[in-house]
A and B are shown apart, each in its own frame.
Chain A
Amino acid sequence: MRDRLVFLVRAYGKLGFGLFLVLCMMLTALLAPLLAPYSPNAMHLDHILEAPSQQFWLGTDRLGRDVFSRLLFGGRISLWVGFVAVGISISIGTILGLISGYFRGLVDELIMRFVDVMLCFPSFFLILAVIAFWEPDVHNIMLVIGLTSWMGVTRLVRAETLSLRERDFVAQAKLAGSSTCYILVRHILANALAPVLISATLGVAGAILIESSLSFLGLGVQPPTASWGNMLMDGKTVISIAPWLSLYPGGAILLTVLGYNVLGESLRDMFDPRLQQRFF
């Protein structure tokens, strides 16, 4: 019994831990209106900059807003931005990668050179430059993060497609008269789904980090809407008298990103056992 337990922990401990963190964060974000003791923007002007207490679990900020409630609602924004941005980048990356790998030739060359060019930009510079000219609201941030992070997925899908298109089942499908679109979706994409999902999981972590960095610089989610990044920006100015304002949002980012990274890594180990021995 005990050996069995040890085996289970060894085999699925990492996956379980990652899944636990991710699900926790998702649940708290979904249930934020039920869990939050106060409205995230309600100002309690008689409780400004109060330390964590019975009444305000994680303290209050400069405007007397409850940090715990803001943390929950901030999580909603951060996760939402992460998911949509990754959705955009995965869609672009998958479509371009499929086209590039399946049709080869000039199209492939053009797409891959464009990927080279995009990878040369320090991506954070590019994101800042674009955000500066568009209104920095949530939708634009999702779009910009998505539009600047699809290159890795393109390469991944292209590499998978290059090897899959030579397989017998693709030749058989062609002989049977399947349309190119059908082959691409049902035969090639279906077989390349695992690595795409893994990179999507890791991508959510990256997108959340970028969103919070942008908000921290004041170019992301705009106040009064709470996001973990702009809560940290708020806390920075009063860090010497109210350190809890800087502590909790950062911790939330850390745990969420950690969760997605661990989940992605353990999924990768499961789908690609060859790498498991070598790395973690």
Chain B
Amino acid sequence: MLQLAFLPFLFQNILQRPSTPQAFFRCVRVHSFFCVGIPVSLSLHSHLLLRILRKCAWLLFVFLGITLVSFLVIHLAPGSPTDMEVTLNPLAGEAARKRLEALYGLDKSLTEQYLNWLVRLLHFDFGNSMSADARPVMTKILERLPLTVSMNVISLILTLLVAIPVGIFSACRQNSFWDHILTLFVFLGFAMPSFWLALLLMTWFGIDLQWLPISGLTAMNYDQMGSFDKFCDLAKHLTLPIMVYTLGSLAGMSRYMRSCMLEVLRQDYMTVAWAKGLSPFAVLVNHGLRNALLPVITLLGLSVPGLIGGSVIIESIFALPGLGNLFYAAVMARDYTMIMGNLVLGSILTLAGNLLADICYSLADPRIRTQAV
């Protein structure tokens, strides 16, 4: 039961969203500190199961909180969902508003509305969009989700591919000339607004060089293309957005990689590995990198909300039909059900990211795997 008392600390450190490398590092250190609990005599898998079960109980609590906050934010804000249809329409009077409110269930008390909404959420029913097409929110979101998720996954892979070697390099050559140059780039990367970066890349690659298209997902004649041309067309259209995503997260990731690697390089087992006469590659990759990569898993989980939020800006600049653009359009049109659905879904994605990172972490680190929560 002692471990249970530590549980809140554990999760709050996983969920923290620090803005600088130091903060990243600190939260992960605290995290691993509390993860080393008291060994319990259970098999490996039941430990993992117990961990997941406890986490699920906490998830349920946070999920309720999320729905409550989403609901209150929308319903306590000034204005009403019927404004768009009534106030802006000179033919609609008070009676029409009353009818609409009864239709949407807005005449009931707030508590009743919340409970109704929650029950429908549990059936994965987010209601119908209040925009002109009135299609189910869930369908509209599921249409848009694959693009946003795949762009994020591709850019995450690219980020890791670049950030890991760069991090190792600047950790091994700490305080060298190139390390300082890279530090400079990291600071610039942290300060660079993503929309400005997008505009600059559009000017260079899209307008000056005319290499890449600057907006949309497909060309005008996409339907007439062969399948290979279709693929090339998609790739061309997605190059710039993915570049913006990647450059945006590169700074933080390489910095984080560097600090993890620096920490690992000072450990005794690294000295032993050098002393055994292993090749530099074996020392750095097999002994160093594998340990330095562990905290990165947590960082990946932490970066989910930032990526979802960032997609609004990037997708609206490049006019891509993704989740961010859907949300932006919903906000502009005051589409209540859509906004609430997106808020809840965005937070669920964040929760899922955290849970996934937590599971991966305990799978990867034998100290956590064997030592329970």
- Residues in chain A within 8 A of chain B (CB atoms): 109, 112-126, 128-134, 152, 155, 202, 205-206, 209, 212-213, 216-217, 219, 232, 235-236, 239-240, 243, 246-247, 249-250, 253-255, 257-258, 261-262, 264-265, 268, 275, 278-280
For residue B190, which residue of chain A has the nearest CB?
A261
Contacts of A232 in B (CB 8 A): 195-196, 199
Contacts of A268 in B (CB 8 A): 22
Partner of B334, one of A124, A133, A152, A235: A133
Is B334 touching A116 in the complex (CB atoms < 8 A)? no
Is B69 touching A117 in the complex (CB atoms < 8 A)? yes
Q: Does B313 contact A (CB under 8 A)?
A: yes
Contacts of A261 in B (CB 8 A): 20, 187, 190-191
Min CB–CB distance A274 → chain B (angstroms): 11
Q: Does B113 contact A (CB under 8 A)?
A: no
Contacts of A132 in B (CB 8 A): 331-332, 334, 339
Partner of A202, one of B19, B192, B342, B350: B19
Is B331 touching A219 in the complex (CB atoms < 8 A)? yes
Query: How many contacting A-B pairs (Cβ < 8 A)?
Result: 172
A132 to B196, CA, bound (A): 23
Contacts of B62 in A (CB 8 A): 113, 116-117, 120
Q: List 30 A-B contacts (CB under 8 A).
A: A109-B8, A113-B61, A115-B12, A116-B12, A117-B69, A118-B69, A119-B17, A121-B70, A122-B308, A124-B308, A125-B312, A128-B327, A128-B328, A130-B73, A130-B77, A131-B331, A133-B79, A152-B18, A202-B20, A213-B194, A217-B316, A235-B199, A239-B202, A239-B203, A246-B196, A254-B188, A257-B191, A265-B20, A265-B22, A278-B259
At the interface, is chain A mostly helix, strand, loop or mixed? Answer: helix
Contacts of B12 in A (CB 8 A): 112, 115-116, 155
A278 to B203, CA, bound (A): 39
Partner of B192, one of A120, A235, A243, A254: A254
CB-CB contacts of B1-39 with A at 8 A, as 1s and 0s? 000000010011001111111110100000000000000
Contacts of B305 in A (CB 8 A): 119-123
Contacts of A280 in B (CB 8 A): 183
Is A246 touching B199 in the complex (CB atoms < 8 A)? yes
A155 to B196, CA, bound (A): 32
For chain B, the bracket of interface size reads 35 or more
- Residues in chain B within 8 A of chain A (CB atoms): 8, 11-12, 15-23, 25, 61-62, 65-66, 69-70, 73-74, 77-79, 183, 187-188, 190-196, 199-200, 202-203, 207, 259, 262-263, 304-306, 308-310, 312-313, 316-317, 327-328, 331-332, 334, 339, 342-343, 346-347, 350-351
For residue B317, which residue of chain A has the nearest CB?
A236
For residue A209, which residue of chain B has the nearest CB?
B193
Partner of A213, one of B22, B193, B343: B193
A128 to B73, CA, bound (A): 11
For residue A247, which residue of chain B has the nearest CB?
B200
A109 to B12, CA, bound (A): 11
Closest A-B pairs by Cβ, 8 of them:
A124-B309, A250-B196, A117-B65, A133-B77, A258-B191, A257-B191, A122-B309, A122-B305
Is B65 touching A114 in the complex (CB atoms < 8 A)? yes
Asked if A258 meets B188 with Cβ closer than 8 Å, knowing A213-B195, A253-B196, the reply is yes
Min CB–CB distance B156 → chain A (angstroms): 16
Min CB–CB distance B291 → chain A (angstroms): 16
Contacts of A119 in B (CB 8 A): 15-17, 305
Min CB–CB distance B201 → chain A (angstroms): 11
Min CB–CB distance B55 → chain A (angstroms): 12
Most B CB atoms within 10 A — which of A122, A206, A216?
A122
Contacts of B19 in A (CB 8 A): 152, 202, 206
Contacts of B16 in A (CB 8 A): 119, 152, 155
For residue B255, which residue of chain A has the nearest CB?
A279
Is B207 touching A278 in the complex (CB atoms < 8 A)? no
A231 to B299, CA, bound (A): 34
Is A216 touching B309 in the complex (CB atoms < 8 A)? no
Contacts of A246 in B (CB 8 A): 196, 199-200, 203
For residue B307, which residue of chain A has the nearest CB?
A122
Partner of A121, one of B192, B328, B343: B343
Contacts of B327 in A (CB 8 A): 125, 128
Asked if A122 meets B188 with Cβ closer than 8 Å, knowing A133-B78, A152-B19, the reply is no
A249 to B195, CA, bound (A): 11
A88 to B48, CA, bound (A): 41
Partner of B207, one of A117, A125, A239, A279: A239
A235 to B328, CA, bound (A): 20
Partner of B193, one of A239, A254, A264: A254
For residue B18, which residue of chain A has the nearest CB?
A152
A235 to B259, CA, bound (A): 39
A131 to B20, CA, bound (A): 27
Partner of A212, one of B20, B193, B202, B259: B193
For residue A212, which residue of chain B has the nearest CB?
B193
For residue B333, which residue of chain A has the nearest CB?
A132
